[in-house]
Structure 1
Amino acid sequence: MKKPHNQDFTPISDVVYENCPTVLEIYSTKEIAEIFDMAFLNGLCKNVLWILRMKISGNFNGIGEGLFTKLSYLEHFQGNGMKDLTELSIDTSNLKHLDLSSNNLETIDFQFMEELVHLNLSRNNLEIQNIYMSTTSQPLNLQLRSLDLSYNKLTKIDFFLSFWNLRTLYLNNNQIERIKPGILQKYPNLIVLNLAVNKLHELESGMFIGLTQLVSLDISFNKLNDINVQIINSLGALENLNLEGNRIDNFKYNELEHDIEVLKIDDNNTYLHGKKSENSSKRSVSIVK
């Protein structure tokens, strides 16, 4: 029987190793913030080009230009908890997984390569005017499947590239007030869309056009007063709909044209089928088939 691994990464202290492990973790406790670059890596160990997975945290305030291009075998990079990391300009090279969540990023200039599959930029301080995305690839060739921009300061998503292969998009806990009709057509294969805890006042006609594969939609805890059922009907594959924590007065559930497996409408003052839900005291009301 194989023993479970208790640790995914190999810690490296301030000594020089003959050869870098292919999977490693680096935590900087130095008082002066450093740039994480090839010079830093070469000071730790030899043969850094063979690193496959890497996790860094601590007192870093930058990532060296072209680092990921030089580490041609690196597929998984995670950099978290870097309080002085406010600006970043990178290309993804051969990376498949990139996690830069829980930093203090305010500005990011991102060059997308085809290989990237998962990108996590959640829990930063990103605003739309300070996010720059570019690519030389066609939308169909970009392999990005998961994009997490939750817990930032976004007010709209017009700046996004067309990610035709995207499956999950997390935009919850931002400050989004409106999504223009047609914008989401850039993600025709989207399955999960989370827009919870934003400032949406209405679902505009055409807002979800093109999302024929969408299975789960979370628009809970926004400022919605009314739900146009026909907009929900445009999502033919939808199975899970979360409307909790809005200001919805009336939801014409009987006009839905397809079955929804899970419908959550807690914390509204909602009518269903013309009958008022037992929610006058803000009790939980959910329909779960």
Structure 2
Amino acid sequence: MRCSQRLIVLLIATSLCVSAASNTWKKKDKKTKAQREANLCTMEGNAAALHCVCVGGAPPVNTTSAECWIFTGVSKDHSIWSLFATQPHINQLKILVRPQGLFTFIPTKGLRHLYHLKELQITYANINEIHPYAFANSSSLRELTLARNQIVTLDHHAFAHLTNLTDLSLEENRIAEIKRDVFVDLPKLQKLFAAHNNLSVIQEGAFRQLAHLLELELDTNYISVLTRDTFTGLGELKKLDLSYNKIRMLGDLTFSELWVLEELNLEHNQIELIANRAFAGLNHLRKLTLSHNRLAVLSGGLLGGVPTIIHLDLRSNNLETITYDSVQPIIHNLRNESSYFYIADNKFVCDCRLAWLHTLRNETKNPLIRNTLDEITCYMESAGQSPVRGTAAAPSAAPRTVSGPFPADNEDYYEPVEYDNDIYDQQQDSSLNYVTSSGPRDPRKRHLFEIPPQELPCPQPEQPTIAPRTQVPTPGFVGVSASGAEGLLAPAILLVAAMLVT
């Protein structure tokens, strides 16, 4: 009987244990199912802070590309970032913020789960600061785009240890300064875009760890000062864009660290002065753009250090002349079919310093250069000079001609030119007040090639102004009579006084 009771108790206990275990497994199974349903690519509904559209691979588990939209405010500690672990194979990720959304940080916690991420884009956020090591554990990244995020500050090590990163875009933000140690351990970075910001300061050595950078775009900022150390470390840079800034002058050796630079864009600045050795060391430079600045003079030695230039743009400056000496180092390049030479929209004076352009026009094989030269206009007088009416005054001796290249120190010689009949047979009459399609023409203005080179007047050297000698009255001799002994001594005394004064 006792054995029978014990057996019944044992069966009841076993039944209870089995029932409890069953309930436990059901709960575990239910939790696993919930976890399985919480997937980055399957979240739906407007209540979700993040809504992702996934493509590629085999969704919802092995997607390779995701475009995620943020509709509301989301914090750094939000549980949504843990869902990135459900899609570890994503290699392309876009995070975009809707107008009503609020996103103020780099989602480092979410990115750490994406071991295969190669391309990341974050746009339309309100990220004020890129904190140190914001992209930690993202060493697989190759392209990083952070445009239009209102970024102001880049902390030290903001971009660090991204050993595969090749392209970095920081365009259209509010970055005011690039400090040292912002870019650290980026051995493969080749392109850095920071255009359309508020940049006014670049600390010396800010790019020193970007030894393999090939392209740097800093256009449309407020940069006003450049030094040799601004570009320290960029020994492999080939393209530099500094257009639309506030640069006023370029000192000696400004770009000397850029040994292999091929393209330099400085258009739309406020450059008034360029030192003779500003471009020294740029032995591979092929394209130099200086249009829309305030240059009044192009010195003779400026292009001596850049003999490889085939594209030179000097449009829309204040140049009164451009001499043969100033472009002599690259004159042979300008005769090639692949070259470009833009000098229109300056304040050229119609004189013999421009005569060499007639020769270049006839010798170049480049129709583009020929057409560009045909559009050059000049003024028959410059500021502060008397008008010149088309032909030079009769010189005291006939101008000499040379059969070879222009001498380096020559300004009043011209080379014999075989004129093109289609140009000179169509010269206008002596009246300069004819009307063009755009209205009355400036009576001082002429097309350069309307004037044969032998009729271009040469500017007269300015005579030094000598101040008249002033006689200082000598005390004691004022009002001396011209008669008597005083009258005889007065001239001699005045002469001695004048000699003492001089």
Cα distance change of structure 1 residues 232 and 260 upon mapping to structure 2, 3 Å threshold: farther
> Any residues of structure 2 matched to 1:209-228 within 5 Å, and which?
209-228=304-323
Give the distance between the partners of 2:183 and 2:151, measured in 1 at CA. Answer: 18
Q: What residue in structure 1 maps to residue 122 of structure 2?
A: 26
Q: CA deviation at 1:162?
A: 2.6
Corresponding position: 1:100 with 2:194: yes
Q: CA deviation at 1:284?
A: 11
Give the distance between the partners of 2:342 and 2:427, measured in 1 at CA. Answer: 16
Q: 1:68 aligns with which of 156, 159, 178?
A: 159
Give the distance between the partners of 1:91 and 1:161, measured in 2 at CA. Answer: 22
Letter in structure 1 aligned against 2:212: E
SS at match of 1:232: helix
Letter in structure 2 aligned against 1:149: L
Corresponding position: 1:114 with 2:214: no
Q: What residue in structure 1 maps to residue 224 of structure 2?
A: 127
Greater strand content: 1
Letter in structure 2 aligned against 1:254: H
Gaps of 5+ in 1: 1-6
Cα distance change of structure 1 residues 285 and 77 upon mapping to structure 2, 3 Å threshold: farther
Q: CA deviation at 1:129?
A: 6.1
Q: Is this contact kept in 1: 2:255–2:280, CA < 8 A?
A: no
Letter in structure 1 aligned against 2:150: N
> Any residues of structure 2 matched to 1:168-247 within 5 Å, and which?
168-235=263-330, 236-238=332-334, 239-247=339-347
Q: Is this contact kept in 2: 1:68–1:74, CA < 8 A?
A: no
Q: Is this contact kept in 1: 2:260–2:284, CA < 8 A?
A: yes
Q: CA deviation at 1:10?
A: 3.4
Letter in structure 2 aligned against 1:203: L
Q: 1:54 aligns with which of 144, 147, 159?
A: 144
How many residues are matched? 270
Q: 2:364 aligns with which of 241, 250, 259?
A: 259
Give the distance between the partners of 2:275 and 2:427, measured in 1 at CA. Answer: 31
Letter in structure 1 aligned against 2:300: S
Q: Is this contact kept in 2: 1:28–1:60, CA < 8 A?
A: no
Q: Is this contact kept in 2: 1:133–1:161, CA < 8 A?
A: no
SS at match of 1:182: coil
Q: CA deviation at 1:285?
A: 7.2
Cα distance change of structure 1 residues 228 and 222 upon mapping to structure 2, 3 Å threshold: same
Q: Is this contact kept in 1: 2:211–2:233, CA < 8 A?
A: no
Letter in structure 2 aligned against 1:213: T
Q: Is this contact kept in 1: 2:216–2:237, CA < 8 A?
A: yes
Q: 1:268 aligns with which of 372, 377, 380?
A: 377
Q: What residue in structure 1 maps to residue 41 of structure 2?
A: none
Q: CA deviation at 1:183?
A: 2.1
Q: CA deviation at 1:190?
A: 0.4
Cα deviations by residue, 1:8-56 (Å, 9 ceiling, x for unpaired)? x7312669253062111112523x7232542x445xxxx4111111110
Q: Which moved more, 1:243-252 or 1:72-81?
A: 243-252
Cα deviations by residue, 1:89-138 (Å, 9 ceiling, x for unpaired)? 1346321110000111111122333201000000001110699525368x
Cα distance change of structure 1 residues 244 and 218 upon mapping to structure 2, 3 Å threshold: same
Greater helix content: 2
Q: Quick one: percent identity of the two aligned structures?
A: 21
Give the distance between the partners of 2:200 and 2:153, measured in 1 at CA. Answer: 13
Q: CA deviation at 1:180?
A: 1.5
SS at match of 1:98: strand
Give the distance between the partners of 1:205 and 1:234, measured in 2 at CA. Answer: 9
